[in-house]
């Protein structure tokens, strides 16, 4: 069985297209709305859905996603309920789903059990910001058995040695963090982005997707010119936050996605 992420990149390459990846936090503002948003993202042309699993101490996240995490916890989103949500969504959609999850949650759930339950629920991989390649061997062993992607992060400060290490340890794609610091929308992309991606591409042939700070259609397009995909998170989460309690929340998010995605 080929992983949906690999299948998606293969299809995109064939069509000379790049990935558009959208992030939302599970349970923000409720699990019911998250499920509707997952459908909306899938129908709005998102190539991969990145689904955050709320955590009380999200180190890599800026204020927008931290607040979403707090709302997710209030919205009763935990690992079991998010697995359940994806399992139900899988009855209707085939879009790859990747978790953004902190290692504490995986470790306490049980590594082997996490991978098995994730795959059985229809989750295709995980980005774990606080798990370096050196410490991911056990998870990678379990993931390999179940064709589950383990996606490692690279930063502007990563040395060539680090790039090689993260690349060797990553399956699915490599997540390049475009700036030092936490997540959040930025006015412009870093000047050294192009040369950094070029350098990573010299070292690896795995897909490289760029996240952190991308918030406009022009930025998505610029990133897609140099990388294999663009990841938008905080900008989407802000639209959710602004429309909490409104009937057309899901529709507004869908419309915003279409304004961001150059393929729309």
Residues acting as catalytic residues:
50, 61
Burial class (CB in 10 A: 0-12, 13-18, 19+), 146: middle
What values do phi and psi take at 186, rounded to 5?
-125, 155
Question: Which element (helix H / strand E) includes 72?
Answer: helix 63-74
Torsion of CA 47, 148, 175, 76, to 10 degrees: 80
| Residue matched to tokens 């399956």 | 171
User: Using the 8-state DSSP alphabet, how is residue 139 labeled?
Assistant: H
Give the integer Cα–Cα distance in Å for 120 and 217. Answer: 35
Contact 238, 253 (CB under 8 A): no
């Amino acid at each position: 069985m080929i992983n949906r992420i690999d299948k998606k990149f293969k299809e995109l390459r064939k069509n000379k297209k790049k990935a558009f990846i959208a992030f939302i936090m599970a349970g923000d503002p409720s699990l019911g709305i998250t499920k509707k948003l997952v459908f909306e993202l899938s129908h709005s042309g998102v190539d991969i859905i990145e689904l955050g699993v709320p955590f009380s101490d999200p180190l890599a996240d800026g204020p927008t996603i931290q607040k979403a995490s707090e709302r997710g916890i209030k919205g009763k989103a935990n690992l079991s309920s998010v697995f359940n949500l994806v399992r139900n969504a899988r009855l209707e959609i085939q879009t790859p789903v990747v978790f953004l999850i902190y290692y504490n949650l995986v470790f306490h759930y049980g590594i082997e059990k996490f991978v098995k339950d994730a795959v059985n629920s229809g989750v295709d991989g995980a980005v774990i910001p606080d798990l370096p390649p050196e410490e991911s061997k056990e998870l990678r062993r379990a993931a390999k058995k179940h064709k589950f992607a383990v996606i490692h992060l690279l930063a502007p400060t990563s040395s060539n040695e680090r790039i090689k290490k993260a690349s060797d340890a990553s399956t699915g794609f490599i997540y390049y963090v475009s700036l030092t610091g936490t997540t959040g929308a930025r006015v412009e992309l870093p000047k050294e982005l192009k040369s950094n991606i070029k350098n990573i591409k010299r070292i690896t042939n795995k897909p490289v997707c760029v996240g952190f700070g991308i918030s406009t259609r022009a930025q998505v397009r610029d990133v897609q010119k140099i990388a294999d995909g663009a990841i938008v998170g905080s900008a989407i989460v802000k639209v959710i936050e602004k429309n909490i309690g409104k009937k057309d929340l899901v529709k507004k998010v869908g419309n915003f996605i279409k304004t961001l995605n150059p393929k729309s």
